[in-house]
Amino acid sequence: MKKSISCLVLLSLACIASFANTSDGQSDGCKIYDITHPIKNNMPTFGSLLGAKDVIKEFQGKATITGTITVGTHLGTHVDAPSHIFPGLLGQPGFTVDALDLKTLMGSVLVVETPKDKNITSEVMQSLQIPPGTNRVIFKTANTDNRLMDTGFFVPNYTGFTATGADWLVKNTNITFVGIDYMSVAVIDEIVPVHITLLTSHKIIPVENLKLDGIAPGNYNVLCLPLKVVAEAAPVRCILLDAACH
Ligand SMILES: *[C@@H]1O[C@H](CO)[C@@H](O)[C@H](O)[C@H]1NC(C)=O
Ligand SMILES: *[C@@H]1O[C@H](CO)[C@@H](O)[C@H](O)[C@H]1NC(C)=O
Ligand SMILES: *[C@@H]1O[C@H](CO)[C@@H](O)[C@H](O)[C@H]1NC(C)=O
C-alpha cells in the first residue's frame, strides 16, 4: 500500500514536471511569453502610494487552506469594457466585460516600441508607420524600461496616449486591440477624453498593464482571456506566442 502511494506521488511529480516543460513553450520551437503581471498583495495599484492591500487572504482549515481574492476590476493586467466610461450602460447587456468580442482578444498582434521621450500623440502614431490592415497593436513604451511596476507605488507621469493620439488611431487605423505597459492607456491628465474616444468606437478593447519586459518588437499571436465578469473592467491573462506556434 505504502509503495503504491509513493508510486502515485512520483507519477504525479513526473506529470507536473512534464507540464512545467511544455508550459515554458520551448518544445517544438514554439515560444510562449506570459505578459501578465502576477496578482499579489501590495502590488502597485492606480493612484496609491501603498499598493493593493488584502488582495489575497488564505485561511488555514483543519486539513487544507482555502482563500479569497479581492481585486479591483482595474488591478494588474486588465481589459476595459465600454461601460467603463458610460455609467448609464453598466446594467445593459453588451457593454460589460462578459460581452467583449473574444475574437478581438486573440490573433495576430504587432508589438511596437514608442519613442522614449514622448507620449503617444498623433505625431507619434503617424511616425510608427503601423502597416495598413493591422488590427492588434501592443505599445511598448518607456514604462517598461523604467520598470514602473517594480516601484511598489503608483507613478503618475507614466507614458500613455494623449487625446490626439487616440483620435488619430480611431480615424486612421483599423486597430481594435490597444495594448499598453502601464495601468492606463491614457496619460493621467487626459484619461477621460482618451477613454471616450477609444470606447465610443464600441469595437476597441484597451488591454492595460501588460508586462513587456524582454518582449522584442515584432509580430506575434496574442491570446487574452478576461475573467467573465459582468463589470466595466476585469483582470485578464494574456500570453504572446511566437511565429513557430500554431
Ligand atoms: C480598414 O478596413 C477597411 C475595410 O476592410 C479597408 O478598406 C481599409 O483599407 C483598412 N485601413 C487600414 C488602415 O487598415
Ligand atoms: C517622472 O518623474 C520622475 C520623478 O520626478 C522623474 O525622475 C522622471 O524622469 C519622470 N518621467 C517622465 C517620463 O516624465
Ligand atoms: C506624458 O504625459 C504625462 C502626463 O501629462 C507627463 O507627466 C509625462 O512627463 C509625459 N511623458 C513624456 C515622456 O513626455
Q: Which residues pair with 179 in a beta bridge?
A: 138, 207
Condensed to tens digits (0 to 9), the pLDDT of residues 165-194 reads 999 999 999 999 999 999 999 999 999 999
**Kind of pairing between the strands at 233-241 and 78-80:** antiparallel
Higher pLDDT, 22 or 110: 110
**Kind of pairing between the strands at 136-140 and 177-180:** parallel
Residue 132 Cα to ligand 1 midpoint, Å, equals 7
User: Do residues 99 and 226 touch, judged by C-beta distance below 8 A?
Assistant: no
Helix, coil or strand: residue 80: strand
Residue 157 Cα to ligand 2 midpoint, Å, equals 6
Does the CB atom of residue 187 touch ligand 3 within 6 A? yes
- Look up cell 488591478; give the residue: 75
What ligand is nearest to the CA atom of residue 136?
A: 1
Does the CB atom of residue 132 touch ligand 1 within 6 A? yes
Rounded distance between C-alpha atoms, residue 139 and residue 186, angstroms: 12
Question: Would the pLDDT of 20 be above 60?
Answer: no
- For ligand 2, atom 8, the nearest C-alpha belongs to 157
Question: Would the pLDDT of 92 be above 50?
Answer: yes
Percent of the chain with pLDDT over 90: 81
Question: Given pLDDT bands bounded at 50, 70 and 90, which one contains residue 106?
Answer: very high
Question: Ligand 1 atom closest to Cα of 133?
Answer: 14
Q: Which three cell numbers stand for residue 196?
A: 471616450
Per-chain mean pLDDT for the chain:
90
Query: Taking the model in full, what pTM does it have?
Result: 0.89
Does the CB atom of residue 174 touch ligand 1 within 6 A? yes
The pLDDT assigned to 94 comes to: 85
Condensed to tens digits (0 to 9), the pLDDT of residues 28-85 reads 789 999 999 999 999 999 999 999 999 999 999 999 999 999 999 999 999 999 999 8
Backbone φ and ψ for 4, nearest 5 degrees, come out as -70, -35
User: What H or E segment, with its residue span, contains residue 65?
Assistant: strand 65-69
User: What H or E segment, with its residue span, contains residue 178?
Assistant: strand 177-180
Q: Which three cell numbers stand for residue 229?
A: 465578469
Nearest Cα neighbor of 186 from 175, 198, 194 is: 194
The pLDDT assigned to 91 comes to: 72
What ligand is nearest to the CA atom of residue 173?
A: 1
The pLDDT assigned to 23 comes to: 47
Nearest Cα neighbor of 178 from 133, 127, 139 is: 139
CA angle 137, 86, 207 (to 5 degrees): 20
Q: Which three cell numbers stand for residue 200?
A: 465610443
Domains and CATH numbers, the chain: 34-41+72-242 (3.50.30.50)
Helix, coil or strand: residue 195: helix
The pLDDT assigned to 197 comes to: 96
Does the CB atom of residue 131 touch ligand 1 within 6 A? no
Higher pLDDT, 212 or 14: 212
**Packing angle between helix 163-172 and helix 191-199, nearest 10 degrees?**
10
What ligand is nearest to the CA atom of residue 159?
A: 3
Instruction: For 97-146, give the DSSP string.
Output: GGGS-TTTTEEEEEEEEPPTTS-B-HHHHHHT-PPTT--EEEEE-HHHHT
Rounded distance between C-alpha atoms, residue 189 and residue 223, angstroms: 30
Does the CB atom of residue 157 touch ligand 2 within 6 A? yes
Does the CB atom of residue 151 touch ligand 2 within 6 A? no
